Amino acid sequence: MIQNILSNSVTKFASKWVVLVIDVLTVSIAFVLAYCIRFNLSFDFEINKLLVQLPIVTIIALISFLFIGSYKGVVRHTGVRDIYNIFNAICLASILMISMVLLNREVSILNNFTIPLSIIIIHSLLSFIGLTASRFIFKSLYTNLMIRNLKVTKNVIIYGAGESGILTHNALTSSSKGIIRVVGYVDKDDKKSGKHINGVKVYNEKELTENFILEKNINEVIFSMQNIKSKKLRKLVEGLVDFPVQVKIVPPVDDWINGELKVSQIKQVQIEDLLDRAPISIKNSKIENELKGKTVLVTGGAGSIGSEIVRQICTYDYKSLIIIDQAESALYDLQQELKQNGFHNFVPIVSDVRDKNRLNNIFDEHKPNMVFHAAAYKHVPLMEYNSYEAIKINIAGTKTVADLSIAHNVEKFVFVSTDKAVNPTNVMGASKRIAEMYISCMQQQKKTKFITTRFGNVLGSNGSVIPLFRKQIEKGGPLTLTHKDVTRFFMTIPEASQLVLEAGAMGEGGEIFIFDMGESVKIFDLAKNMIKLSGLNYPDDIDIKITGLRPGEKLYEELLANGENTLPTYHKKIKISKVRDLNYVDVRSRIDELCITNMFFNGNTVKLMKKIVPEYVSNNSELCELDEKNKNEKSDKSTLKIVQS
């Protein structure tokens, strides 16, 4: 019967007014018991005085409960905070009673009214015990009786026996969706080993072995350590991925809902959590001073990097933000997102950076002070055989925006480049390198300050390997990898965008800023870890298929070209590349020739690109023939010179 009553009430909380009535009754009963204890468990006292005092004590207790709000807690989730509120309410009631007794002795408001101080003290102790016990009795009944209606879902180990771990335990055990049994805590602190927290044993991290997991039938290991470094987390996770458990992580405290952890927020460890990218601080005083009161224009503003640059700019005190992109749907989504987040001082414009007349009107109308040029085609295999589009957007588009920036007296132009522009082996990389070179040519006019930023892959960007692997895992595999030894640099989109803004603020014109990408990551190892973190086994559940290098693809990416080195800046993650000197007149002339030639669909455009960028040597591509022809032509010329001499 009791179980049925509780079953009917499981979907709703007991009314706080019912709790208040029960608390008041408990205090009243405790007052009677206090008299009995005071008089040796007998009724050898004046009951008439008790009957006079009881209503007053009840009213004082009611006032205390209402003032402190101790009755508002959810009884079946009673915790330390609720007990603390009960203690405060009892203390307040005791103080009020003692004050009334002492005041009545002096002023005599109520004739012959007094309560022995010993009774008040005993009553306070009994009330606290009674109120606390009633809550835990109900909580115990709820747990033990209702638990039969809930399915045992999993056994869990919490990695971290600190405050975060304890709060995680509370969140898990308070979940009404099923029984989550916390088998124990794991902590590196030997002093905690063997002790119990909330009745749960603490184990040393050395005890977390495969035999331990199988013996205790562990389903999940939850990492609940705030501010844990990525390297440390990666090492710990890599030690678990071969075990038959899911590995999850508790989010940072700042991401908890209203400062309280919900079970739904405990997510499976993602591969991004294991890459050594430090969290960033969005607000930055140097960027704030640079953007304050200015009109900022962002091209490619709906793309991966462009949209994040827009989001971060929105947190500063700018005058106006112009967002340009040719992707209508993506731009609309960004517009709605910014509106929902309370940002209004921005103008989304559907436009193409190759349309000079349209861009000229935009520059003329809005008069931007600062331009962030992120619009580009960036997919290596696609651009390898679509050189017309690569040249048109990556080179001619950049040229158009740069020329208009000078014509309209833009203060700073920040160009978002890529590590694929370094010793390029593909059309896309070469087009970005030529765009960098054109930016350097424009800097010579000493009007607009032209700044280039260069970095590698960003996690989660359009076309990134990680989203691709996720989709392949969802479909049951296999994961496709171009080469077993291929490596890449990675950084998060917010971090990359932050550094672009930072470089734009510190740049004085003419610099190529190189971002610290950390250690390169072997993609084969990354693929294996993603499979294991998904709760699957490699190669039994999902295999990895080697497809061969794609046209123009490198095994290893570089951030510096041959002959370049770097200079430090005040920011430890940003360095300045010391590039080779260029013949600016000749380079600009050749770039102009390339853009004009491309307009007529001339097949010699890639050959011209190789002349502009001598280090551009195609790899694993049909365009390698052009390099062979160049070698043969050079060889023929050398032979001719020898014969002539």
Given the residues 248, 378, 399, 420, select the one marked as catalytic: 420
Sign of CA pseudo-dihedral 57, 61, 67, 68: positive
d(CA 222, CA 269): 9
State the average pLDDT over residues 55-59. Answer: 91
Q: What is the pLDDT of residues 578-601, one digit of tens each?
A: 666 788 899 999 999 999 999 888
Q: Which of 10-14, 50-54, 490-494, 587-591 is least confident?
A: 10-14
Question: What percent of the chain shows pLDDT beyond 70?
Answer: 84
**What pTM value is reported for the model?**
0.66
Question: What percent of the chain shows pLDDT beyond 90?
Answer: 33
Q: Which helix (H) or strand (E) covers residue 41, if one does?
A: none
In the annotation, is 420 catalytic?
Answer: yes
Query: Tokens 């019912």 label which residue?
Result: 18
CB contact set of 561 (below 8 Å; sequence gap of 6+) = 422, 423, 579, 580, 615
pLDDT score recorded for residue 3 = 46
Q: What is the pLDDT of residues 551-584, one digit of tens each?
A: 877 777 766 555 556 666 767 778 777 666 788 8
d(CA 71, CA 32): 22
Neighbouring-strand partners of residue 182:
156
Q: Where in the chain is the domain with CATH 3.40.50.720?
A: 150-269, 285-461+490-522+559-581
Using the CB atoms, write b or e for 366-391: b if 16+ within 10 Å: bebbbbbbbbbbbebbbbbeebbebb
pLDDT of 523 > 80? The answer is yes
Instruction: Please give the CATH architecture assigned to the domain spanning 285-461+490-522+559-581.
Output: 3-Layer(aba) Sandwich (3.40)
Neighbouring-strand partners of residue 578:
565
Both tokens assigned to 180: 């989550």
- Of 621, 479, 472, 464, nearest to 547 by C-alpha is 479
d(CA 374, CA 301): 7
328 close to 349: Cβ distance less than 8 angstroms: no
CB contact set of 264 (below 8 Å; sequence gap of 6+) = none
Strands 565-568 and 487-488: unpaired
- Of 155, 162, 153, nearest to 224 by C-alpha is 162
CB contact set of 392 (below 8 Å; sequence gap of 6+) = 354, 598
> How many CA atoms lie less than 13 Å away from 436 in the CB half-sphere?
30
For 204, other C-beta atoms within 10 Å of its C-beta total: 14
pLDDT score recorded for residue 147 = 54
CATH of domain 150-269: 3.40.50.720
pLDDT of 503 > 70? The answer is yes
pLDDT of 489 > 60? The answer is yes
pLDDT score recorded for residue 451 = 93
Q: What is the pLDDT of residues 262-282, one digit of tens each?
A: 777 788 777 767 765 555 555
pLDDT score recorded for residue 482 = 85
Q: How many residues does the chain have?
A: 645
**Best mean pLDDT range from 187-201, 374-388, 627-641:** 374-388
Helix (H, G, I), strand (E, B) or coil at 566: strand
pLDDT of 6 > 60? The answer is no
Query: Tokens 């509370």 label which residue?
Result: 170
Q: Which helix (H) or strand (E) covers residue 370, if one does?
A: strand 370-373
Q: What is the pLDDT of residues 133-188, one digit of tens each?
A: 888 888 777 766 655 555 556 889 999 888 888 888 888 876 655 577 888 999 88
Q: What is the pLDDT of residues 458-470, one digit of tens each?
A: 766 656 777 788 8
- Classify residue 65 as exposed, middle or buried by CB count within 10 Å of its CB (0-12, 13-18, 19+): buried
> How many CA atoms lie less than 13 Å away from 300 in the CB half-sphere?
26
Q: Residue 11 — pLDDT band, cuts 50, 70, 90?
A: very low
Q: Residue 630 — pLDDT band, cuts 50, 70, 90?
A: low
Q: Residue 10 — pLDDT band, cuts 50, 70, 90?
A: very low
Q: Where are the beta strands (DSSP E) in 102-215?
A: 152-159, 179-187, 196-197, 200-204
Whole-number CA gyration radius for the chain: 35
Peptide bond into 478 cis (omega under 30): yes
pLDDT score recorded for residue 639 = 47
pLDDT score recorded for residue 351 = 95
Instruction: Specify the DSSP class assigned to residue 363.
Output: H
Average per-residue pLDDT for the chain = 83
d(CA 193, CA 83): 28
Strands 295-299 and 320-325: parallel
Q: Residue 322 — pLDDT band, cuts 50, 70, 90?
A: very high
